[in-house]
Amino acid sequence: MKGVERKSGDLEGLFKGLLDKKAVDCLILPHRVGNNVAHMMVTDKEKIESPVPAIFAPSFSVNAANVVKGWTIGEKIGIVAKPCEIRAAIELIKLKQMDKESALLISVDCSGAFTNQDYADHAEEIGDWVDSAKVEELKGKGIAIREACEICDKRLADVGDIGIVRRDGDNVTVVGITDMGVEALSAIEDISLEDKDIDRSEETEKIVAEAKKKKEALPEISSVEALEEFLRDCIVCKNCRDMCPVCYCKECFFDQPLGNPVGGDLLNIAELRGAIAVPANQLMYHLTRVYHVSTTCVGCGACEDACPKDIPLTRLYPVIAEKVQEIFEYVPGKDVEEPLPFTVYEEEELEDKLR
Amino acid sequence: MGEETTKEEEEEFEPKIVGFTCNWCTYAAADLAGTSRKKYPPNSRIIRLMCSARLDPMFVLKALLNGADGVFFSGCHPGECHYIKGNFYARRRIAAIRTILKQLGLDNRFKSYWISASEGEKFANTMKGLAEEIKELGPSPLRGKVL
Ligand code: SF4
Ligand code: SF4
Ligand code: SF4
C-alpha cells in the first residue's frame, strides 16, 4: 500500500493540493460551526480551514453521501467522511445514483460519534478526536456515543479511494486504497508516497468483538406487538427516509396516493376496515423501508438522528438489515465491484429460506 | 375477531390465505386441479402474476397487514421460468422478506413453492397442507388490528 505520514493538524495541504491539482473539482468535508461540526462543499482552496482536525471530530450531522445522492454530473467530487458515509456512497454508485469516476472517496478513521446535540453540549470535553479509552471515560460521565456507533464494527478508514488512518498520538497515515486514490495523492506537490505496511487486523478484531457484545445487548424487536409498541409514537413524517443515504427512489411509494391516501381514498380504506390508524400506513411504511434498505443499509444511524420522536431506529433498520445481508454474505459498501444481491443469483441457493 | 377466542371458535377458525401464482405454471396447475376434480380447501384467494419476478414483497406485507392469516407464492421450478430467470430473482427477494418476517415471528405465515403447470395434484396437496398449517397457527396477530 502507498501512503504518506502526516500530523493530524497538518492535513490542510493535502486537501488544498487535491483542489489545486484538479484531482477533484470540489470537496465535501466537515468543518467547525461554533461548538459543532457540519459539512461544507468547497471549490476554492483558500476556504479550506487551517488546521482541519474537524474531519476527525466524533460528531454526526448528515450522512455526507445523502448530500451527493444523484450526483450524476461529470465534475469530480471528493468526499472526506466517516467510513459509514463512504460505504453509503459506494452503495449509491452501485445503485447508479452516482458515477464511480466522478467521486474520490476519502474515508477517515472513526471512533464512534455523538449526536450533534451531545457533541455541542460537551464540545470542550470531547475535543477533536476520541480514542476508545476516551469513549469509555466519557460514557462513565453519561456522555455516550450513538447506539449506531456502539454496534458499528466497520469504523476503520479502509474503504473508498483514500484512507486517513490515525496512528498513536497525533500521527496520521494517508493511504491510497485504489489506483484512483494513489493517482490523486501522487499529483500533490509536497507528497511523495512510500510503501506502507499497515496491518490493522488486531484493531479490527477488537472492534468487531466489542460491537458484537453491544449488539447482543440491544433490546430485540421480536414480534408484531413489539414492533407496534416500538413505533407507537411514529408520526410517519418520513424524516428517517429523507435522511437515509441509501433510500433513493425519486418518487417514493409513500408519497403517492396508494402509499399516502388522503381525502376520499383515506375514508374508503377506513370504511373497508372499520377503523384505521392515522396517519395511515405506519407499519407498511417501515416494513417496506426495512425491505428496501435490507441489502444496502450501512448502519450509519442517520435515520435515528433524524427522528423527531426519538425512536431508536438503529434497533430496527441496521439490526434487521444485517440479517438479510448475512444470507447473501453481502457487506454493503465493502467493494464497489461486488454486485448488489438483488441483481444476481446462483442457480442453486436459498431453498431452505422459502417455506 | 376478538382477543379471546373460545375453544369452539378456534375449532371453527377458517384461515384466509392470499396466494400469488405465476400465470405460466402454478396458475395453470390450479386450473388443472380444478378440471381434474382434485379437492382442496377453499381458503385461498389466488392472484395471478405474469411471472414470479412480479412478486413485489410489498404485496406480501400488504396482505399480512390487512389481516391475511397466511400468504403464499408459487411459481415455476427454478430453471423452468417462462422468462428464463424471473424466478431466480424472485427467490432472492422472497428469502429477504422472509428473513425480515422471521424477526417478527411472521415467517411461518408466508410460504413459497415451485409448482409446474402439470402438477395439479401437487397444487391440491400443497393447498391442503398449507391450510392445515395456518389453521394450526391460528388467526394472524394482525387480524382486526387498527393499523
Ligand atoms: S456508524 Fe460507524 S463509521 Fe459511522 S459514525 Fe458511527 S462508528 Fe463511525
Ligand atoms: S422519523 Fe421517526 S416519526 Fe418520522 S417517520 Fe421515521 S420513525 Fe416515524
Ligand atoms: S436505514 Fe438508517 S442506518 Fe441504515 S443506511 Fe439508512 S439512515 Fe443509515
The domains of chain B, with CATH numbers, are: 12-137 (3.40.50)
pLDDT at B95 > cutoff 90: yes
Look at B100 and A294 and tell me if their CB atoms are within 8 Å: yes
Q: Are A82 and A66 in contact (CB under 8 A)?
A: no
Measured CA to CA, the distance from residue A61 to residue A39 in angstroms comes to 8
pLDDT tens-digit map of A92-149: 999 999 999 999 999 999 999 999 889 999 999 998 899 888 999 999 999 999 999 9
Which of chain B's residues have a Cβ under 8 Å away from the Cβ of A253?
58
User: How far is ligand 1, taken at its centre, from the CA of residue B120, in Å?
Assistant: 53
Average pLDDT of chain B is 91
Lookup: cell for B107 = 415467517
| Distance of residue B64 Cα from the nearest chain A Cα, in angstroms | 10
If pLDDT is split at 50, 70 and 90, which confidence band does B11 have? Answer: low
Average pLDDT of chain A is 94
pLDDT tens-digit map of B50-64: 999 999 999 999 999
DSSP annotation of A152? -
DSSP annotation of B130? H
Measured CA distances, A220 to A328, B98, B103, B120 (Å): 22, 17, 9, 42
Query: Helix, strand or coil for residue B81?
Result: strand
pLDDT at A169 > cutoff 90: no
> Does residue A306 have its Cβ closer than 6 Å to ligand 3?
no
Look at residue B2 in the predicted model and tell me its pLDDT: 45
The yes/no answer to whether this complex scores an ipTM above 0.90 is yes
Q: Are A355 and B112 in contact (CB under 8 A)?
A: yes
Query: Helix, strand or coil for residue A112?
Result: coil
User: How far is ligand 1, taken at its centre, from the CA of residue B29, in Å?
Assistant: 51
Angle formed by the axes of helices B86-103 and A282-292, nearest 10° = 120
- Among residues B53, B58, B126, the alpha carbon closest in space to that of A345 is found at B53
pLDDT at A313 > cutoff 60: yes
- Among residues B102, B124, B104, the alpha carbon closest in space to that of B115 is found at B124
- The DSSP bridge partners found for residue A77 are A26, A103
> Does residue A245 have its Cβ closer than 6 Å to ligand 3?
yes
Measured CA distances, A352 to A69, A327, B60 (Å): 36, 11, 19
Which of chain B's residues have a Cβ under 8 Å away from the Cβ of A294?
96, 99-100
User: How far is ligand 3, taken at its centre, from the CA of residue A297, in Å?
Assistant: 5
Query: Helix, strand or coil for residue A236?
Result: coil
- The DSSP bridge partners found for residue A270 are none
pLDDT at B15 > cutoff 90: yes
Measured CA to CA, the distance from residue A247 to residue A306 in angstroms comes to 14
Residue type, A56: F
Q: Is A355 exposed, middle or buried (0-12, 13-18, 19+ CB in 10 A)?
A: middle
- Determine the straight-line distance between the first and last CA of chain A, rounded to whole angstroms: 47
Look at residue B1 in the predicted model and tell me its pLDDT: 43
Nearest CA to ligand 2 atom 4: A237
Q: Are A35 and A120 in contact (CB under 8 A)?
A: yes
Measured CA to CA, the distance from residue B40 to residue B35 in angstroms comes to 12
Of A97-111, A175-189, A190-204, A206-220, minimum mean pLDDT range: A190-204
Measured CA to CA, the distance from residue A146 to residue A313 in angstroms comes to 11
- Mean pLDDT, residues A177-190: 93
Angle formed by the axes of helices B120-137 and B26-35, nearest 10° = 100
- The whole-model pTM stands at 0.94
Q: Is A313 exposed, middle or buried (0-12, 13-18, 19+ CB in 10 A)?
A: buried
Measured CA to CA, the distance from residue A48 to residue A11 in angstroms comes to 10
If pLDDT is split at 50, 70 and 90, which confidence band does A249 have? Answer: very high
DSSP annotation of A164? E
Look at A291 and B62 and tell me if their CB atoms are within 8 Å: no
| Distance of residue B95 Cα from the nearest chain A Cα, in angstroms | 5
- Mean pLDDT, residues B107-114: 96
Give the start-to-end residue ranges of the domains of chain A: 2-217, 224-353
The cell 458515509 sits on which residue?
Answer: A85
Lookup: cell for A155 = 469504523
**B88: number of Cβ within 10 Å:** 20
Measured CA to CA, the distance from residue A60 to residue B29 in angstroms comes to 55
Measured CA distances, A349 to A20, A278, A354, B96 (Å): 51, 41, 10, 13
Lookup: cell for A165 = 488512518
Look at B78 and A224 and tell me if their CB atoms are within 8 Å: no
Which of chain A's residues have a Cβ under 8 Å away from the Cβ of B97?
291
The cell 403447470 sits on which residue?
Answer: B117
Query: Helix, strand or coil for residue A32?
Result: strand
Query: Helix, strand or coil for residue A156?
Result: coil
- Among residues A117, A111, A166, the alpha carbon closest in space to that of A143 is found at A117
pLDDT at B28 > cutoff 70: yes
Which of chain A's residues have a Cβ under 8 Å away from the Cβ of B104?
221-224, 226-227
Measured CA to CA, the distance from residue A49 to residue A31 in angstroms comes to 8
pLDDT tens-digit map of A271-311: 998 999 999 999 999 999 999 999 999 999 999 999 999 99
